[in-house]
Amino acid sequence: MSETMLVARDIRKCFRIPSVRRETIREQLLHLGRPRQYEELRVLDGVSLEVQAGETLGIMGRNGSGKSTLLKILCGIYRADSGQVFRHGGITPVLELGVGWNPELDAIDNILLVGTFMGLALSEARRSVDEVLAFAGLERFANQYLKYYSSGMASRLAYSLAFRAARDVVVLDEVFAVGDAEFKARCEKRYAELQSEGRALILVSHEPGIISHFCGRALLLEGGKVRLAGEAGAVAAAYLDLLGARA
Amino acid sequence: MATRLPQGAFGWTRWLGAIWTLVRTDFKVRYHGTVGGFVWALLKPLSMFIVLMGIFSYVFASSRDYTLNLVVGLFLWDFFAESTRVGIISLHSKAFLIAKTRFPRWIVVATAVASPLVTLAVFSAAVVLVLFLLGRGPSLAALALYGVYLLCYVLIVLGISLAGSVLFLRYRDLNQVWEVVIQGGFFLAPIIYPLTILPEKVHFYLFLWPPTPVVHFTRMVLIQGVAPTAKGHGLLLLMTFSIVAIGALVFWRLAPSAAEKL
């Protein structure tokens, strides 16, 4: 029986949107005693999931369905209002096509900085620099500041580093949405390697073909709830039906 | 290509590598990645020390103690002002990392004081050297006490920075308010004047402003060669503990939602 790497139970998250924003001490003092109205935006409403070692779980859903918030809660970046997340190992996240680059540093320093925060030992991060740059096809831009990178270049570097620093659970948001055909082919190969090594993978995509091809199981999120959970092909088809129904 | 890490391997040794890389890259950004940048980080406080000592020794030629007191006060104050300034905005300035990666947020706040700490270390070495050159070298006990005061000072700064960094994400003008506090606080602490010119009954209240006991006690042990009272030490330790405890409590309560406030 395979080992459960990540379990989320009954995750709920609500953002309170104030009618008037008061983000300074001055505004707070000027409007002291004047109550504000809040609109409650329920982003996640009782989402549960679990991922086993060696398994790939796909997550689909339209924009605003709660995918990004769910990933951030699973990765420990956001805190859920209620519910529990059990992580039985380290997580390597690539969220919204990025890993946390400092635009004022060049690619090498960024690999060292983010790589060590992702879990690589400093010596290991130093040894990985050439490999990460080569995978992203960015060797010529090693000393270029990230602020001069295009968004595609920055994303390629992010995935390249995440693949190198991959820990027990890897969370990839739209991994196949960046780069040219050659880079995508490299990503697919690496992705298969990660699967064969027994990592638990969570893959978010809007592409039904990608979910069907790479994932065994998948979830379809809609309005912060799991609308369907099951075999990836069936979930991908349900996602297409959902889009068709809304169109 | 990918390396499987055993569970729990992301321990202290790995965090040390991350902390070191964060400090090093912060220095690099601050000094624009120049080779001379790191040297300048050391030369800046040293040159400031030489300039201030030279000018004040000339202006206040009749009182060498006043010059030493003034320089010690200015550098200790500069550490407090600079480190709390960068500490308060530290989480916000590392938004790129906090929004994407999971790690203990206090690391960002703690490493923010690294640069001011280097300045303080260089200054400390310079002032002790000058005292020895003047034939007034402090005893080992005095140096040990100075070390304790610096430790308290750093902890006080950390406490303020921990609370300030999470509160800044909720109140975006907190740094401007703190700037006003810093401006006023400069005159509240006995930096350009000796504490003894004020009536003794107000001393207690001045000692509630954190830099005051550190500046005053440092001058006592390094320049005057006398030890403060046990009561004074007790007050400093109590103040340090209180500020760190309050700062840590505020941080512990608010830091988990820091990424949502960026």
Nearest-CA distance from B127 to chain A in Å? Answer: 35
We report the CATH number of the domain holding residue A53 as 3.40.50.300
Residue B7 lies in a domain: no
B174-188 helix and B64-88 helix, angle to the nearest 10 degrees: 170
**Distance from the A246 Cα atom to the nearest Cα atom in chain B, whole angstroms:** 30
Whether pLDDT at B23 is above 70: yes
Residue-level pLDDT at B13: 73
Provide, rounded to the nearest whole percent, the portion of chain A with pLDDT above 90.
58
Residues with Cβ within 8 Å of A176's Cβ and at least 6 positions away in sequence, in order, are A184, A187, A188, A205, A207, A210
> Lowest mean pLDDT: which of A204-218, B13-27, B127-141?
B13-27
Query: Mean of the pLDDT values across residues B1-23?
Result: 66
Q: Report pLDDT for B52.
A: 76
Tell me if A118 and B101 make a contact (CB, 8 A cut-off): yes
Note whether B18 contacts A116, CB cutoff 8 Å.
yes
Query: Are the beta carbons of A25 and B174 separated by less than 8 Å?
Result: yes
Helices A122-136 & B12-30 angle (0-180, nearest 10): 60
**Reading across the β-sheet that carries A4-18, which strands appear in turn?**
A38-52, A4-18, A82-87
The range of the structural domain enclosing residue A165 comes to 4-246
Going by pLDDT thresholds of 50, 70 and 90, the confidence category of residue A130 is: very high
* Largest Cα–Cα separation, chain A: 61
Confidence of residue B1 (pLDDT cuts 50, 70, 90): very low
Closest CB to A113: pick one of B22, B256, B257.
B22
The closest CB to that of A76, out of B21, B102, B170, belongs to: B102
Q: ipTM of this model?
A: 0.86
Number of domains in chain A: 1
Q: What is the pLDDT of residue B4?
A: 42
* pLDDT confidence of residue A1: 53
Tokens 């006043």, residue? B66
Q: Shortest Cα distance from B27 to chain A (angstroms)?
A: 11
Q: What does DSSP assign to residue A98? A: B
Q: For chain A, list the strands marked E by DSSP.
A: 4-18, 38-52, 56-61, 82-87, 91-94, 169-173, 200-204, 217-222, 225-231
Provide the domain limits for residue B94.
12-261
Q: Which percentage of chain B shows pLDDT scores above 90?
A: 55
- Our count of domains for chain B comes to 1
More confident residue, B14 or B159: B159
For residue B182, being part of any structural domain is answered with yes
Tell me what pLDDT residue A247 has. Answer: 55
Comparing CA positions, the residue from B49, B48, B76, B88 lying closest to residue B180 is B88
Q: Quick check: is B27 in a domain?
A: yes
The per-residue pLDDT for A221 is 95
Q: Name the band, by pLDDT with cuts 50, 70 and 90, for residue B234.
A: very high
> What are the tens digits of pLDDT across the range A89-118?
889 888 877 788 999 999 999 999 999 998
- In A107-239, DSSP assigns E strands to 169-173, 200-204, 217-222, 225-231
Does B1 sit within 8 Å of A193, measured CB to CB? Answer: yes
Tell whether B3 is covered by a domain: no
What are the pLDDT digits (tens) for A158-199?
989 999 998 899 998 876 777 788 888 888 888 888 888 889
Burial of B108 (0-12, 13-18, 19+ CB in 10 A): buried
H or E segment and range at residue B205: helix B203-207
Chain B contact probe: residue of A17, A23, A117 with most B CBs at under 10 A: A117
Q: Looking at the domain assignment, is residue B4 inside a domain?
A: no
